Amino acid sequence: MTPPDTFTELARRLAREGAGAACDAEAARLMSLATAVPRPRARVLRRAALGLAMAARRLDTLAGAAGGGRIAPFRPVGLRGAVAAGSVALAAGRLKQAELIGLAAAEAAPDCAAGLRLAGQALFAQERYGAAVRALAGAVAQDPLDAFGRALHAEALLFAGEREAAWRALSSLRAHGEAAAPLAWALERALHAGALGGSGGGRQAGGAP
């Protein structure tokens, strides 16, 4: 996993390139869209706008005077900045903020796995395992080759009590090759050693191999 200080440096660099202003502009666009759609969809868009505005504030703080008022395109600079800002919030224990920013990034860029992966990590940290499974399943669907995302999904399945699905996910992770296999083996070793206590311990009888 990327060290928290690396996310901070990445967020700071992207902020200086205008990521904060890009997030603000995208938030304004989503708020405008919210005025022309049915109420349930409008709530989703307004929540996404709030998440991007939060990301923008964090990015502006990191950039300081070096931001210079520049505005970058939302994709890729603003999007990457939002996810980096959310990762900084996650590392700082601001789990609700990280969740909101992740969901906002996913709404603004539904073809990008990073937002859902961030939201899944934040939900997992809040012990909301069912919601984490759903978010991380979406991330895996967007980017099936992301070994880290697949490992997070398998772990969330274990903690959600979906053990057979978790073992299938681990087997699939190993099958994705050398880059993914160590993550799968590490999860299996932790499970057998009882380190994943929230998942209920070792393999159930009749569970997937």
Count of CB atoms situated within 10 Å of the CB of 88: 26
Q: Is 34 part of a structural domain of the chain? A: yes
Q: How many domains does the chain have?
A: 2
For 177, the domain range is: 130-209
Same domain, 1 and 104: yes
Residues 96, 150, single domain; the answer is: no
Q: What is the pLDDT of residue 137?
A: 97
Residue 117 domain-assigned (yes or no): no
pLDDT of residue 55: 98
| Same domain assignment for residues 23 and 105 | yes
Residue 114 belongs to some domain of the structure:
no
Tens digit of pLDDT at every position of the chain (209 positions): 556 678 999 999 999 999 999 999 999 999 999 999 999 999 999 999 999 999 999 999 988 766 556 789 999 999 999 999 999 999 999 999 999 999 999 999 999 999 999 999 999 999 999 999 999 999 999 998 888 898 899 999 989 999 889 888 888 877 766 566 676 677 777 666 655 555 444 443 333 33
Judgement on whether residues 149 and 192 belong to the same structural domain of the protein: yes
> Would you state the pLDDT for residue 131?
98
State whether 94 and 138 are in the same domain.
no
